[in-house]
Amino acid sequence: EKIVEDLQAENVLILSGLAYGIDTIAHKAALKNKLPTVGVLAHGLDKIYPPQNKMMAKQMVEHGGLLTEFLSATNPDKQNFPKHNRIVAGMCDALIVIESSKKGGSLITAELGNGYNKDVFAIPGRANDLKSEGCNYLIKNNKASLITSADDLLEMMNWKPMPKAAQKKQRELFIEFTVDERIVVDILQQNESVQVDQLYYKSGLSSSAMAAALLMLEMQGIVLSLPGKVYKISP
């Protein structure tokens, strides 16, 4: 909660898995501090798991979003969670493991993040604390950098605060797109607007990859979503 609170001025997006525990705390802290937050689901969009997160999920739709690669009616089965971990790892710039057992799902996400050349961080804990075994393991084996505060994260990521007036200008001049985002942007720049099915066909991307690219582009204010699942470049 403290890390998210201290990141409020940095205009970050908080991405997590909407699961019970640390995920829920991260999403709630983002909403409390008026930061956009996105939940990556391990099931279809027709349900929310755990059920007690339904109200929070509604708020997230208005202040971020929910994302899944699974069809409606897909249950939150155990085998789905490693699959959704790879989306979390792939979409983030900085991946932070707050707590994890030595065989926790967060370790899978961290390993994926390292494989994707993402910046992976972990909060250290007591040697005899089972909930910190995973974090300590990552740090000990140089698979995550040790942080204890938002300031540590900002320093290691080289995220330097800038005047608000300069933020939009810098975004316009120095936007760095992923390969998938560049494909989507190039298609939209060639057309006044594109319906999502046409975009899917022209891009050649998987449905999950295209959804992830569109979401990040919307969050950056690059792409505008119109009624009827139509997208265009923001004016």
Distance (Å, whole) CA 50 – CA 94: 25
Q: Count other Cβ atoms within 10 Å, centred on residue 123.
A: 20
Angle ∠(217,169,177) on CA atoms, nearest 5: 30
pLDDT value, residue 163 = 53
Burial (CB < 10 A; 0-12, 13-18, 19+), residue 145, is middle
Burial (CB < 10 A; 0-12, 13-18, 19+), residue 190, is exposed
Mean pLDDT per 10-residue interval, the chain, length 235 residues: 93 93 96 95 95 96 92 94 92 95 92 94 95 96 97 90 49 67 92 90 89 87 88 89
pLDDT value, residue 44 = 95
Residue 29's H or E segment, with its range, is: helix 22-32
Identify the three-state secondary structure at position 209. Answer: helix
The token pair at 11 is 């205009």
pLDDT value, residue 22 = 95
